[in-house]
Structure 1
């Protein structure tokens, strides 16, 4: 079990950096919640705690004390920058060695692989959250709210999701996280003992615009028109197929 403490910077009366209609406290919380959801939904043996889950004021001492008292394995503080620059940078406490430096480099690289930010480099700083935590700690600065080109990206929910995905991918690499088995919702329109019958149905479905695959399972040739991680997407395809006159079942595998 890996215990990760996620710290969305600022909050409540402390807005953090502001610019272009954005407040740092709002962005950090959005990224942190997205990251939490990715880790909980996709990985096994991960325990999470957040310094805040709403727009509330939390002191620096409260943040680090919570992580230390919880005996977290890793402290990840998420921030957004200001000051006229552009791009992404990450910080650890000066003078620390491995594994903190290794974790930083891995997470840094994975974030940049996901987002269209210039690389401002891996840096050190005497920040409270890096100095007062007893576990390895990292602080990320995800773009500049007062830089128009960065701010336009940060206004996009999909871009914030990419930032969160980069953090998640970095944590996966750093801590060798195990992914949960993927459950797929499969949409099937027929099952036959004779392959020729399955091929005939598959050709009919193709003529109506469906992508098909015929699989031999349990001594039957099964015609499948889709497989989705999302049940909602599977049900949408099910409705479309029924409207075209096919008998449809949706099952999990």
Structure 2
């Protein structure tokens, strides 16, 4: 697409009646992208990192406040050891090579996911990314690493149970807000839009609690092909959605209107 077409698409996207504050990405299809081209899986993952860079830059250009990326799930450890080491190596290189640029672009990095059983060198890397950028006030890049939504909710339940056992909380005080306050995302707004590439249409244990009222856009393209044009297209689709959060459309019969 020509530069003029991209600019027009951006303008159209911004002119829509709704714009998401928080976008989450399920970056799917690296392996299939490589297989379709007769390339090793590593090349698909490497190109996926390039697509991630484009997505972050696009989020900045499109004035998204929060961008959450599903970088490594709790279930990914079950993949072959060689592939796990490759993915960890790509994460290491992404942070080492891109942290300075992210910091210069006023991006704040937040990491969600279980940390208790991570190797010290990985923990140090994640902590460095957070500490270096913690004072930044632009885009918040939330990296979901060693993350699983069921595990996150179970950990929140254990924390609340411990509070009850210690007499610091009554069982009747446990509500949705109390659970949300114990999640990794307690200080992050719920996603407005979740985009998944590769044509698959499932959450894969990603932000199950937080996605209660999110809009979903499933794209047929594989993740290494994701670019700003695809991002703008997903935002345009979101802009046409009617988000009622369980209520009625303002134009629907019986809906209350402002006096």
TM over 0.5: no
User: TM-score, normalised to structure 2's length?
Assistant: 0.27
Structure showing the higher strand proportion among its residues: 1
**Higher RCO, 1 or 2 (CA under 8 Å, sep at least 6)?**
2
Structure showing the higher helix proportion among its residues: 2
